[in-house]
Structure 1
């Protein structure tokens, strides 16, 4: 078996554009005369050790063209925990399968895996060039300006919260608490600021995991909403925690880096009901935020494809041990360029929302964040109208 194969592996939670990155990588690799086989690891890293590989030469052009508009990961993904000796085994499996280039698409954990596989290949004397493709709806990968997957989730949140705010405004009978995904970083929750781009109204309060959560301050804010408006929309991140790190709602399960958070929105809605004696509801779209193709950002999709293509070029040029990143040149007009970042600068380094994007009280987001985020959402959000 010739060492001429290029293998693509997905790790972690899918996004609305992970298949767009796959499309970019596959089409770029298929166009290269240097690449003998273009393969996908089915089911994530386990596909490598189990030899469960998809040969894209057998996939029709019409099916490949469907990738950028398909949700989830077409080749599957995983959160399989790895031990130190697993990386050497992966390196040897790559050699045995005739892999010359490996692309790893994923977030912090997957980029850490990517770097460790790269090191193992060097240590084992395996001639495999390894390159990372960023992917995360949480937008918490270090160094890159933003990561593919985030903008589509942000677009979903902005438009959906905009519609919900109209509902609350039209029938001012309760406080609505909307919970977003986001483990330790509030990028997605903060995107609800742009709900008012729909032309009606936006959330009244936004709480992020970058600030310690204080229940009394929260109740004071909610009481003001009741007094002034009789209703309101509050957006919270699933990763909210109190001073000292105690979660607002106890996690349902912890397994390694994976945390199944408790229902923060339901907990806070119950708190409003019990402490303020007014109506409150909780909303938790959950995985819809990262899987919704209906709200996919065209900018996100195009950048994901470009990152996939650039990763192939980096691998073929021998630029191993790197991750493709996005550098912003300008927000208005929006202009970026792709960069190749040493993978060791990325491995498990978490990027949270900077202070200049959070208001002083810690219950909202600044206009600086709006200016940063708006170009990523693609076409204008739908416009809503209200007469009350």
Structure 2
């Protein structure tokens, strides 16, 4: 059971991995809650995540204008700076951990909050275990973030809903654009998702309104090029148009990615860099059909469209940060905040803690029963799951006709 005794000391919050439209809302949840608690003596933001800790680049959140901090709710990307840095297992190499401990002792850091996805939760778990091993009391809590929605435990992840809303909206708009001509056209839209197809599945949401894709392909099932071409040709010949949504990570039965952009290039965690799939498929379809074909890659637009953010997503992201601090103050450590949701009789959410050892380096994929038997669409079960998460509009303010994002002073500790 968590200890009840107060733990007096400073807090660090960091952001890691790919940004999202609401990762700063989670940071604000942590920062605001920590600043308001008398047991937390100072609140620092780590520049570029754990790299900022290692390099002693800590921003003093106490020095920021409260009004600017509040704008983090509606500011996209990672305001504190992100990284893709994988720390080794301490049993193999403890150099980074000794440095982290040195920084924690220098600033009397007793609370560490890390906002990110699978690999970030792995970082949290390793730091938590190391601090316990060396006897330094520091409460470590992970805050979920990933537009890929692939963290296990939590019903969904902050960032996913806003990205899904942008994708669904964009598909509605593209559907109107690609169907205006008297000559037929085939359009292929590529969405993010290396191993999990949650974002691509969100293209189904406008289908009931007549503006969704005709075909959807996800990485949860093997891709067959011959079946794909048969599907596209059947739809195109039947209605004179065809709109297709594909996940960047679709793969053949041998595990090879369909994207020709799979190279030896990887990110800091060893993941293959993907992209270019839509244009590759467009070329193949054009050669097979002779039709006009367009490939569209939504790319980074999916994760930074704050103007299209879900109010539900913003609120839940903030609450995850807030609950993280409240849990740490109660004595919890080595946990990740997650959401438990009910959808029968209306949508509701509660917040629970999940052991980081369970969460780290595991992936949650779309249930296979939510994918149609022909592997080319998703069922109503996904629609029922996803629709409530998109509710509500952002309260983002504007200045001179453009979004007004947070402008932090970034005063660094010495």
Give the TM interval when normalised to the shorter protein: over 0.9
Match of residue 38, structure 2, among 22, 33, 40: 33
Of the three residues 199, 219, 223, the one matched with 2:233 is 223
Alpha-carbon spacing, 1:233–1:207, altered in 2? closer, same or farther (3 Å): same
Q: What is residue 112 of structure 2 aligned with on the other side?
A: 102
Please, what TM-score do these two structures have when normalized by structure 1? 0.95
1:70 aligns with 2:75: yes
In the alignment, which residue of structure 2 is the partner of 1:305? 318
Find the aligned partners of 1:368 and 1:81 in 2 and give their Cα distance.
Answer: 36
User: What's the counterpart of residue 84 of structure 2?
Assistant: 79
Q: Give runs of ≥4 in structure 1 deviating > 4 Å.
A: none
**Residue matched to 2:405:** none
Q: 2:374 aligns with which of 356, 361, 371?
A: 361
| Structure 1 residue 13 corresponds to structure 2 residue 15 | no
Q: How many residues of Structure 1 are paired with residues of Structure 2 in the alignment? A: 379
Deviation string, structure 1 residues 217-242 (Cα, Å, up to 9, x no partner): 00000111221112111000000100
Paired residues of 2:86 and 2:123 also in contact (CA < 8 A)? no
Q: How does 1:1-388 map to 2 (within 5 A)?
A: 4-84=9-89, 85=94, 86-171=96-181, 173-196=184-207, 199-250=209-260, 251-252=262-263, 253-255=265-267, 256-379=269-392
Give me the whole-angstrom Cα distance separating, in 1, the residues matched to 2:217 and 2:97: 39
Partner secondary structure for residue 259 of structure 1: coil
CA shift, 1:168, in A, is 2.0
The C-alpha deviation readout for 1:167-186, integer Å capped at 9, x for no partner, is 22222521000000111000
- Displacement of 1:329 in angstroms is 2.4
Distance in 1 between residues matched to 2:340 and 2:214, nearest whole Å = 32
| TM-score, normalising length: structure 2 | 0.89
The 1-side partners of 2:126 and 2:108 are apart by 19
- Cα RMSD of the aligned pairs, angstroms, is 1.6
Q: Secondary structure at the match of 2:385?
A: helix
Structure 1: any 5+ residue segments left out of the alignment? 382-388
Contact 2:16 2:83 (C-alpha < 8 Å) held by counterparts: yes
